[in-house]
Amino acid sequence: MSYLNFDLEDISPEKPKKKAGSVRRAFSNWLLENYGEEYQVEIEKQRGRKEASFFEADFEPLPTAPKPKVPRVGIVGGGFAGLYSGLILQSLGIECEVFEGSDRVGGRIDTWYSTEYDPKDKNKKGLYGEVGGMRVPQFADDMLPVQHLALSLNAVLERNGRADEAVYWRKFYYNSEVQRLRYNNMEAPITAKEAGLNSLNFGVDEGGDLPMVWVTEVKPQKGDPYLPINKVLDKVNGPFLAALDQSFEKGFAMLMKYDNYSMWAYLTNVFTLGDLGEYYLPEMGKKEDLLPFSVASYLETLNVGTGMYSVSFVEMVIAVYDWGGSKNSYDPSDPNVYMVTVDKGMQHFPDACRAVLDLEDGVLPTDGSRAQIEIGMIPGLNGKKGYSPPNLTPAAEPPASVPAADPGKPVPGSPSRRKQRVFMNHKVVQVQHDECLFDNHGGMNLTIEKTDKDGKKINTIEKQYAYVISTLPNGAYLSGQLKTNFFDNLSFAKARALRECNYMPSFKAFITFDTQFWAELGNRQDKGLGVAVSDRPNRQIVYPSYGYDSEGGVLQIYCWAQDAERMGALNDEERVNECLKGIAYLYPEVDVYEAFSGYKPEVTTKTWFWDNHAGGGAFALFAPGQFKNLYPTLLTPEFNGCLNIAGECCSVHHGWIVGALDSAYNAVNNILQQAGATEKIKQMQETWGALHTPDIAAIKKKVRAAAV
């Protein structure tokens, strides 16, 4: 009973991995095979153009060939999709340039550091928090490319004498039995351990609106006592999860019948009381009756955020299905959730990407293949998969049930000279296709505004590339320029997809306290507390997973959807005031205001709502019907393959770093396919792994057609 997080089959002879499967990969393939006809036609048309061979020299597979001096790929945006695109191209010897409009890389990965932060001072090393993405499931098959990237970067940094810039993982404490909950003016907060049979004051007899039958304890003859309200989602999701387990194809076909429904619409227009099965009680109403509004409201309040059930029902079911990826995939009996975060702040991760991109030589095939073995993407020398990356802090070490990897001895490389590929404070304001470029083979014009550190325009730069990968959040394509648009002449389908793709608002705040009263009361210390939840405007308190040995610390507030919009509408100090009231509500026995370090922006406090670089939303979360109607379009290149759109919205991993990586991998693959660079594609897979690319669906479709 906690906030749902949008996380996210190979069998080892000795330690069989739990069959979680790559449900999102299968989902992507199913969508494209069944609803991606235009995507398939357009891809085949673009890749069949003879003109693509014009750039053959740039993609020469022979290692003795000179590296091209002229960048052929321009990349818009220095978030993870842009950085990963560049790192792949760099590893293949294909020149590129990355343009970032701000003074830092990372996009929606952004760590706030108090101006008093000091990593060498015990009492100040914990004064930071994650404005953007803050955690990675440790063992999820679909999420492993994120850890693979970190290991690959570390190999390059170490051989260049820059090991101090390497990325290390520490444990992220997602939950605990003592995390607090309090709703509806409850007399006092309770812990998660006590919540299973607590009505949380939602019953009509306690001032709420739920008929008491939903929150009255049931004691079955067999099994544990329960509240009927807490069994609803099991029955809602159960038939779909069972069908997916039995057959991905049949399960998706069943699920997609309801793609035009939001989660709220399914609960209140499809699901009946009779569907509760053994949990149905006559006092609820007739079996053919639908769930009452109050039940749907309760489920939304406890599991997501206000108004969040307006998103796709399919999105919600799949999030539940692959939540198992956050568990120990090597041990089905292990119930724990395992997540990691970057030691000393997630910002170190994109900074490491930039450091490697600004070297002549980047990730080598030997770096990438070794990293794949170290985290279990592929088997090691012993023919088995394992997990033992060398960049884990002690708290993040895997449990004993996880076998060690066998990567063999590392292959040394040579240091590299510097070569700038990432350009900061370079804001791309227009991207135009010009079919006359490159001797009428076509290409893209980029108009770039170079600014100073304060955002003041210095000058305008014009660049031309054979290919462009644009990785901005969709809202950022509103350039704000006087007479020019960011894109012109996009296809109808692409323009509509960029305009309609649903993004989810998000709000975060960081509040510094002189004492860590939460650690003392929770008696947890370095074990972590997880997340506390209430129905107050701030909704969640995310406890730090670090710095428990210091005097003070930082509590992070996190909420989404309408809750975030209302917090964001306040000014900065008013947001902090609301957060303090929400914290005090969960800690009535503490003088929270006395412990508060005071309102000092960027010193003791920081609030964030959306982001001017995100353009109106923190991450994509599809509305009803958008998987079928927008997802294939977002993946389709424009202008005969010259323009690719990437970013987590162009994946099925919405809101996760790996979604950005998958989309970047697919964009680079499209370019390589367009250029006929078969050997480069093999090298990409050897170095970076066989990440998801929709070509899998196209190949399957061709095979079936040929068989017929």
Residue 649 predicted with pLDDT over 80:
yes
> CB count, 10 Å around CB of 282?
9
pLDDT tens per residue across span 330-341: 998 998 889 999
Q: Which pLDDT band, with edges at 50, 70 and 90, does 556 fall under?
A: very high
Instruction: Give the start-end residues of each E strand in 245-286.
Output: none
Residue 324: its pLDDT value, please? 60
Residue 20: its pLDDT value, please? 43
Instruction: Calculate ∠ Cα 390-393-399, nearest 5°.
Output: 85
Percent of the chain with pLDDT over 70: 90
What range defines the domain where residue 289 resides? 180-326
Residue 187: its pLDDT value, please? 95
**Residue given tokens 């129905």 in the structure block:** 535
Count how many domains the chain has: 2
205-209, 307-311, 671-675: segment of lowest average pLDDT: 671-675
Q: Is residue 450 part of a domain?
A: no
Average pLDDT of the residues in 107-116: 94
Average pLDDT of the residues in 522-534: 72
Q: Which pLDDT band, with edges at 50, 70 and 90, does 699 fall under?
A: very low
Average pLDDT of the residues in 267-272: 97
pLDDT tens per residue across span 49-65: 544 445 555 665 444 45
| pTM metric for this prediction | 0.92
The CATH number covering residue 561 comes to 3.90.660.10
Residue 184: its pLDDT value, please? 94
Q: Is residue 520 part of a domain?
A: yes
pLDDT tens per residue across span 142-195: 889 999 999 999 999 999 999 999 999 999 988 888 889 999 999 999 999 999
Whole-number mean pLDDT of the chain?
88
Instruction: Please check whether residue 27 is in contact with residue 675, taking contact to mean a CB–CB distance below 8 angstroms.
Output: no
- For 186, phi and psi rounded to 5 degrees? -55, 145
Q: Which pLDDT band, with edges at 50, 70 and 90, does 701 fall under?
A: low
pLDDT tens per residue across span 250-264: 888 898 899 999 999
Residue 577: its pLDDT value, please? 97
3-class SS letters over 395-461 = HHCCCCCCCCCCCCCCCCCCCCCECCCEECCEEEEEEEEECCHHHHCCEEEEEEEEECCCCCEEEEE
310, 326, 342: which is the final residue of a domain?
Answer: 326
Residue 503 predicted with pLDDT over 60:
yes
Residue 521: its pLDDT value, please? 57
Eight-class DSSP state of 43: H
Residue 5: its pLDDT value, please? 34
| H/E element, 269 | helix 263-269
Q: Is residue 560 part of a domain?
A: yes
Pairing of strands 180-182, 531-534: parallel
Q: Is residue 455 part of a domain?
A: no
Q: Is residue 353 part of a domain?
A: no
Residue 367 predicted with pLDDT over 90:
yes
562, 584, 609: which is the final residue of a domain?
Answer: 609
Average pLDDT of the residues in 79-106: 96
What type of residue sits at position 634? L
| H/E element, 462 | strand 457-465
pLDDT tens per residue across span 597-641: 999 999 999 998 876 567 778 899 999 999 999 999 999 999 999
Residue 48 predicted with pLDDT over 70:
no
**Residue given tokens 């909420």 in the structure block:** 559
Percent of the chain with pLDDT over 90: 68
Q: State how far the Cα of 330 lies from the Cα of 11, in Å rounded to an integer.
A: 10
- The CA-based dihedral angle spanning residues 381, 385, 390, 392, taken in that order and rounded to the nearest 10 degrees: -170
Q: State how far the Cα of 261 lies from the Cα of 311, in Å rounded to an integer.
A: 8
574, 609, 644: which is the final residue of a domain?
Answer: 609
Residue 91: its pLDDT value, please? 97
Q: Is residue 146 part of a domain?
A: no
Q: State how far the Cα of 688 lies from the Cα of 4, in Å rounded to an integer.
A: 30
Q: What is the DSSP string of 198-226?
A: --TT-BGGGTSSB-GGGGS-B--SSS--B
Comparing C-alpha atoms, which of 41, 40, 45, 18 is closest to residue 29? 40
Q: Is residue 123 part of a domain?
A: no
Q: Is residue 567 part of a domain?
A: yes
